[in-house]
Amino acid sequence: MKTIVWFRQDLRLSDNPALAHAAERGTVIPVYILDVGGRPLGGASRWWLHKSLAALKSDLPQLTLLRGDPLELLNRLSDQTNADAVCWNRCYEPHAIARDKAIKAALRERGLDVQSFNGSLLAEPWQVKTGQGGPFKVYSPFWRAAKARAIAAPLAVPKLDVEAAAGIGDDLDDWNFVPSSSNWAEGWEDIWRPGESGAQARLERFLDNGLAGYGTLRDRPDKANVSRLSPHLHWGEISPRQIWSRAQFLADREPTYRKDIDKFLSEIGWREFSYHLLYHFPSLPEENWRPAFDAYPWRDDSDDLEAWQKGQTGYPMVDAGMRELWQTGYMHNRVRMVTASFLVKHLRLHWSHGEAWFWDTLLDADQANNAASWQWVAGCGADAAPYFRIFNPMTQGEKFDPDGAYVRRWCPELSGLDNKVIHAPFKATEEVLRAAGVVLGSTYPRPIVDHAAARAAALAGYEAVKAANT
DNA sequence: TTTTGAGTTGTTCGA
DNA sequence: GTCGAACAACTCAAA
């Protein structure tokens, strides 16, 4: 018996239910198919995928890489290898659901045994239900219900009898996913180690060094207390079950960690909630989840959008975040909220502009998390931030980057300023600026909007939403 | 069906 | 400087 294992967002060997199933049946034929349909991958994602596939291929040298229409390719592959079964772990993006459903039906039509599994969530989106049987729209009761379910122990790496498909398959380098000429990804390999072993190492490093005090320190972009597992999770190099199981083990052994671990796992819970929402509300990436927000008077201003993208807004905390994103493919969670709030509330540009930019630049770009989080910040999402919660970029800086270390790192032209003015250089006196070598409008931009005025305008805009609601 | 309690992450103002 | 209240209802989920 030969089973094709179709790798997608589950680029690992351990706790991989599809792989385990295939191994039990007999010979395994592993394939990764680059689907040319669906939303094109962003630049940062392509870099990650390249590295992750290279890592998987080194663990599983028989892995075949194909590119094109998945059904066509799976048909050809099963003919050529005489495989009698195909299996995979599920994806939950609307495009993937439709695609997989059609492929499953078509392959079964041809007499193949086709099975799909849950490899990337603690619970399937349809398994967590309110008392009424519907989907949850509020995080807390969702997570309570999700946690109350039994969570399966992760699977070990199965003993494998692997066969490579002969004579077909692409060379990873031919996909041109890593930049050749201008290397915008320079230095990324020092920061990130895509692939299963890198993911496990990252988890252990976080548990060893970041977990203690996580509850509060995770809000500090100048510290190293967040897990940075998001890109690994997105590509399925590690599963939430593995994280859950490892974290619970630690909490049982070290009860003092219990609180921080629960806080950390609740972040995994937000990922689950995003997938739950995307599954039950597939228009989440495109449409306001609360339709009343269709009435919000968004602005349209490409100069402001570009200033935000490039980290040239004149607000150091915002600019530092946007530059961290551009330079490393990552942004600390606290700063994601500050920068997103700034785009949506201070600039009043539609959240979809931010969603698209993050999709292209984030290494952890993920349809469910990205859409749910942008809508959350904008106020139109599920369990969203109230409209009157408008982050003050200066206050956020003083609170969460009190030493200015984060800002100085990403906006080095401000590094000569002291902590009093580092988060609001435009409030500094001429002498202070001169002494620090800062020339506003030249070495660093003046603020593109006035905070108080922008805040007032954002609040006024919500009047239209309120009116649409009644 | 109705009622009730609760709801990630903030800011500003005035005492 | 510190603290509590206001911001604004509304929707959700369960009893």
User: What's the token pair of residue A397?
Assistant: 């800086």
Q: Quick check: A410 and A304 in contact, CB under 8 A? A: no
Active site (catalytic) residues of A = 267, 270, 298, 333, 351, 374
Residue range A292-319: mean pLDDT, rounded: 96
Residue A402 Cβ under 7 A from any strand C atom: no
Q: Residue A249's domain spans which residues?
A: 121-154+197-280
Q: Distance between CA A279 and CA A109 in Å, rounded?
A: 26
Whether residue A413 sits in one domain with residue A296:
yes
Query: Which amino acid would we find at residue A320?
Result: A
pTM above 0.95, yes or no: yes
State, as a whole number of angstroms, the distance between the CA of A387 and the C1' of C8: 10
| Both tokens assigned to A266 | 């609740």
Domain count, chain A: 3
- Whether A235 and A313 map to the same domain: the answer is no
The answer to whether the CB of A7 falls within 8 A of the CB of A63 is yes
Strand B lies under 7 A from the Cβ of residue A452 = yes
CATH number at residue A149: 1.25.40.80
CATH of the domain at A366: 1.10.579.10
Residues A115 and A126 both lie in one domain: no
For residues A327 and A297, membership in a common domain is answered with yes
Q: CB count, 10 Å around CB of A141?
A: 14
Do A14 and A42 share a structural domain? yes
Residue A51 confidence (pLDDT) above 90 = yes
pLDDT tens-digit readout, A191-221: 999 999 999 999 999 999 999 999 999 999 9
Q: C-alpha angle A43/A235/A136, rounded to 5°? A: 110
Nearest-nucleotide field for A140 (CA, C1')? B7
- Answer for A140: CB within 7 Å of strand B: yes
Indicate whether A469 pLDDT > 80. Answer: no
Residue A299 has what pLDDT? 94
Do A86 and A140 share a domain, yes or no? no
Q: Do A362 and A459 lie in a common domain?
A: yes
Rounded-to-5 percentages of helix, strand, coil across chain A? 50, 5, 40
Q: With a cut of 90, say whether residue A389 has pLDDT above it.
A: no
Whether A455 sits with its Cβ under 7 A from any strand B atom: the answer reads yes
Residue nearest to nucleotide C9 (CA to C1'): A466
Percent of chain A scored above 70 by pLDDT?
Answer: 99
Whether A131 and A111 share a structural domain: no
Q: Which residue from A375, A398, A390, A362 is spatially nearest to A449, judged by alpha carbons?
A: A390
Give the pLDDT band of residue A470 (cuts 50, 70, 90). Answer: low
* In a shared domain, residues A313 and A421: yes
Is residue A265 domain-shared with residue A297, that is, in the same domain? no
